[in-house]
Amino acid sequence: MDLEPSPLAQPFPDMPQIDGIMLRVARAGYKNWDRADLTFIELAEGTALAGVFTRNVCCSTEVEMGREQVVLGRARALVVNAGNSNAFTGHRGREAVEQIMAQVAAHLDCNPSDVLVSSTGVIGVPLPKDKARDGVAAALTADEVSWEEAALSIGTTDTFAKGATASAMIGDTRVTLNGIIKGSGMIAPDMATMLGYIFTDAAVDPAFLQQCLTAANRRSFSCITVDSDTSTSDTVLAFATGKAGNPLLSSFDDAGADAFMAALDDVCRQLAHLVVRDGEGAQKFITVSVQGAVDDDSARRIGLAVAKSPLVKTAIAGGDANWGRVVMAVGKAGEPADRDKLGIAFAGHWAARDGLPLPDYDEAPVARHLEGREVDLTVDIGIGEGRATVWTCDLTHGYISINADYRS
Amino acid sequence: MDLEPSPLAQPFPDMPQIDGIMLRVARAGYKNWDRADLTFIELAEGTALAGVFTRNVCCSTEVEMGREQVVLGRARALVVNAGNSNAFTGHRGREAVEQIMAQVAAHLDCNPSDVLVSSTGVIGVPLPKDKARDGVAAALTADEVSWEEAALSIGTTDTFAKGATASAMIGDTRVTLNGIIKGSGMIAPDMATMLGYIFTDAAVDPAFLQQCLTAANRRSFSCITVDSDTSTSDTVLAFATGKAGNPLLSSFDDAGADAFMAALDDVCRQLAHLVVRDGEGAQKFITVSVQGAVDDDSARRIGLAVAKSPLVKTAIAGGDANWGRVVMAVGKAGEPADRDKLGIAFAGHWAARDGLPLPDYDEAPVARHLEGREVDLTVDIGIGEGRATVWTCDLTHGYISINADYRS
């Protein structure tokens, strides 16, 4: 299916090279399409690795193995297959992953466990070993490609290439962070789901990189939803080559660690937003800010309950400032809340406060705000200091068309 | 908005009179419409009461007060307002409810706490006291109406009147159970949500009636979903007038108690199915049967994760036997499951077993099954004896049209 670019699409940014990272792609032909669908990223020796993965119990072999590899904390290569998720394929799927790892390890003279593999696409069909073998062989010796080409190559039903970049000073060394991502949130046809990769030339201890990625994930990827369906393949990996030559970062006490964390937060948030902007059928980018909850985690759960509510998302799609539906969604979150302290605002205009509609609430400026592409919704729980921001898109006919009208 | 009757609608059944129950309706004019919208049901003295309510934290005044009244276990009247939910209206909403209770109590010479009030419809607008007063006054002296007229009068955006009946032998006494219900599942425009009422002439102790209703609810209303949005007003009440003259039922050791429980289960299940059949935009009625879970509660939660998944619901809407999406939904339920023991069948045809697609799976009969109005999906978790059945409808363009294309 060829989809028009999302109306919320953003241009691919200028992304600098990162020392110790080489990008190559090949045409494995996992689907009947005319494009690169196997991405091979070579990482310098000594690259530190961190990762976060889906909590879906029925996760793919790639996710299972990735979890084990992250514990080791080292990586030499990443292979991403597009068009076949290799999920729910039993031992045959596992053999295909092990074949790729062995093939790349032989070429790089490293351990197979240093080779990370990700796959997204159709479920229940084992990754074809012959196509994988030929594709990897071609990729190993292919010319290097740009970040944008790599971002296109990992995509499946994405409507635009997604990348983000940031930098930070560690002492007097400038380090760069680049990220690429694919997916339309937690959900897309054929289980083609979210895969994100962040690369940096910073020298970072693997355990500390994991600590930073876990924290950044909690404030970015864990704060987005397109339609609440959590995939079997979701993966975010971070690779640090160390080539920038900064003093090794191993804790937040180190000089520059806060700057690195801020840059990682920045890249992760940019990437997460891009996924929402490519949400299936999305016409509006919605920011839900929750304040006054008992704590930040509670605020995030309330925000996600609002962001997942089909009633809220269809109301916004229709340009309807239906704050009653927001009340419902807050109430169903199961978090501490007091109906009589609740406040709701669109773009800073309060529709309700202290559990009551405001008598002088003027819907006209709110209606104008809802006609735009970016919608801001604030929920004040009114009982504490907890805050969180989550992001989602509206629920439209385009979502139904993509998922029901076409056979996948 | 005038909607076509759901393609899944069923004719209103023949429902016998129940001794001790009188149905009356009036036009309060809560909205600008040409129909009865206030229902007044008088109950014989000594009628036992039980109830279950939404767990939405931001529930309506009616729900808050109903919870207190159910503890007392007695009722003399029920008033249902259609078109205004009176939710999120603070003390002014509470005053309106108390006014109705006092007005009816004066007429029947009973305690105000014996008068149950329910309201559904627009949120955030206090129930207008003058319209309520005039409506109640008209209803108190109106002619009696049929069950179908009462079912129509409690509806808001429902596309057909919904009722169910069953009977049971208690010793040599036949008792009757009638139920009426309104709603499109947990969700409908303007928070017009599920209200269900069951009436019987059986003599049942209030505590035992509550025990039975709680059990029946767990197997019926708690096993349906239209789109996962839990309302602020959901209420199911059961009234037992005792006029049949059977020996009082007060525990499952009593003769006839099992038959009464079975009849109550029957009525509740019928009513729950009718709500799904009027689900917004519904084109197909979907039964999800889960077996092999660690226990029945776990099976129910897995079934609801499948039934709530937009990906599964849109796939079925499109006639696509996309069992990969079912795998995803099982995995995201967060319940014990083993990917490598999972089985999935449509209408008895197994697409996958023991965590693998079946090589001889024939999609043709499944595709024919999915073209029909009734879809059966079975999930075998393969690790225990827990079972549950849940019901939902597909997710279609009709849902988006109802909730996004029209301003509510």
Find the CB nearest B331 among A57, A399, A403: A57
Q: What does B227-245 look like in DSSP terms, one character per residue?
A: SS---S--EEEEEE--TT-
Task: Give which of A58, A85, A89, A381 to mutate to test B binding, by max B Cβ within 10 Å.
Answer: A58
Same-domain status, A36 and A99 = yes
Same-domain status, A251 and A294 = no
Inform me whether the pLDDT recorded for A312 exceeds 70: yes
Mean pLDDT of B251-264: 94
Per-residue pLDDT tens over the stretch A122-173: 778 889 999 999 999 999 999 999 999 999 999 887 888 989 899 999 989 9
Same-domain status, B259 and B305 = no
Same-domain status, A292 and A227 = no
Number of structural domains chain A divides into: 2
Same-domain status, B210 and B88 = yes
Q: Is residue B210 part of a domain?
A: yes
Are B90 and A356 in contact (CB < 8 Å)?
Answer: yes
Q: Which residue has the higher pLDDT, B21 or A57?
A: B21
> Shortest CA distance to A29 belongs to which of A127, A104, A102?
A127
User: Residue B110 sits in a domain of what CATH number?
Assistant: 3.60.70.12
Q: Is residue B166 part of a domain?
A: yes
> Shortest CA distance to B309 belongs to which of A316, A398, A232?
A232
Structure tokens given for A107: 């070429």
Task: Give which of B294, B339, B392 to mutate to test A binding, by max A Cβ within 10 Å.
Answer: B339
Binding residue numbers of A for substrate: 156, 182, 193, 280, 403, 408
Inform me whether the pLDDT recorded for B120 exceeds 90: no
Domain end, chosen from A257, A277, A297, is at: A277
Q: Is residue B2 part of a domain?
A: no
Structure tokens given for A389: 């921001």
Q: Is residue B4 part of a domain?
A: no
Q: Which domain holds residue A154?
A: 21-277
- Chain B residues whose CB is inside 8 A of the A308 CB are 228
For residue A11, how far is the Cα from the chain centroid?
A: 17
Residue A141 is a catalytic residue? no
Which amino acid belongs to residue A64? E
User: Residue B378 sits in a domain of what CATH number?
Assistant: 3.10.20.340
Same-domain status, A361 and A380 = yes
Catalytic residue among B157, B193, B392, B396: B193
Inform me whether the pLDDT recorded for B192 exceeds 80: no
Burial B100-135 (b: 16+ CB within 10 A, else e): bbebbbebbebebbbbbbbbbbbbbbbbbeebbebb
Same-domain status, A160 and A234 = yes
Same-domain status, B200 and B349 = no
Are A124 and B357 in contact (CB < 8 Å)?
Answer: yes
> Shortest CA distance to A86 belongs to which of A78, A97, A76?
A97
Same-domain status, B263 and B190 = yes
Per-residue pLDDT tens over the stretch A166-190: 999 998 999 999 988 887 644 433 3
Same-domain status, A302 and A258 = no
Q: What does A235-298 look like in DSSP terms, one character per residue?
A: EEEEEE--TT-PPPB-STTSTTHHHHHHHHHHHHHHHHHHHHHT-TT---EEEEEEEEESSHHH
Give the C-alpha distances (Å, rounded to integers) separating B218 from B39, B224, B392: 27, 10, 15
Give the C-alpha distances (Å, rounded to integers) separating A151 from A15, A132, A307: 11, 19, 27
Per-residue pLDDT tens over the stretch A263-296: 999 989 888 888 888 888 889 999 999 999 999 9
Are B320 and A408 in contact (CB < 8 Å)?
Answer: yes
With beta carbons less than 8 A apart as the criterion, state whether B87 and A324 touch.
yes
Q: Residue B317: left if φ>0, alpha if ψ -120 to 50, beta else—which one?
A: alpha
Are A328 and B123 in contact (CB < 8 Å)?
Answer: yes
Find the CB nearest A337 among B58, B87, B314: B58
Inform me whether the pLDDT recorded for A62 exceeds 80: yes
- Chain A residues whose CB is inside 8 A of the B328 CB are 56, 58, 123, 191, 229-232
Are B56 and A331 in contact (CB < 8 Å)?
Answer: yes
Asked whether residue B193 is marked as a ligand-binding residue, the answer is: yes
Asked whether residue B408 is marked as a ligand-binding residue, the answer is: yes
pLDDT at position A29: 96
- Chain B residues whose CB is inside 8 A of the A375 CB are none
Per-residue pLDDT tens over the stretch A220-268: 888 887 766 666 677 888 899 999 999 999 999 999 999 999 999 998 9
Nearest CA in chain B to A317: B404
Asked whether residue B341 is marked as a ligand-binding residue, the answer is: no
Q: Is residue B1 part of a domain?
A: no
Are B58 and A403 in contact (CB < 8 Å)?
Answer: no
Vertex A168 angle, CA A167 and A170, to 5°: 145
pLDDT at position B291: 97
Domain end, chosen from B277, B301, B324, is at: B277
Domain end, chosen from A228, A255, A277, is at: A277
Task: Give which of A311, A312, A330 to mutate to test B binding, by max B Cβ within 10 Å.
Answer: A311
Are B55 and A352 in contact (CB < 8 Å)?
Answer: no
Per-residue pLDDT tens over the stretch B133-186: 999 999 999 999 999 999 999 988 788 898 989 999 998 999 999 988 887 644
Are A328 and B57 in contact (CB < 8 Å)?
Answer: no
> Shortest CA distance to A394 belongs to which of A229, A225, A218?
A225
Q: How many CB pairs lie under 8 A apart between chains A and B?
A: 210
Per-residue pLDDT tens over the stretch A197-216: 889 999 999 999 999 999 99
Q: Is residue A10 part of a domain?
A: no
Same-domain status, B79 and B225 = yes
Q: Is residue A6 part of a domain?
A: no
Q: Is residue A370 part of a domain?
A: yes
Same-domain status, A298 and A257 = no
pLDDT at position B218: 86
Catalytic residue among A165, A193, A241, A392: A193
Give the C-alpha distances (Å, rounded to integers) separating B62 from B78, B88, B137: 12, 11, 20
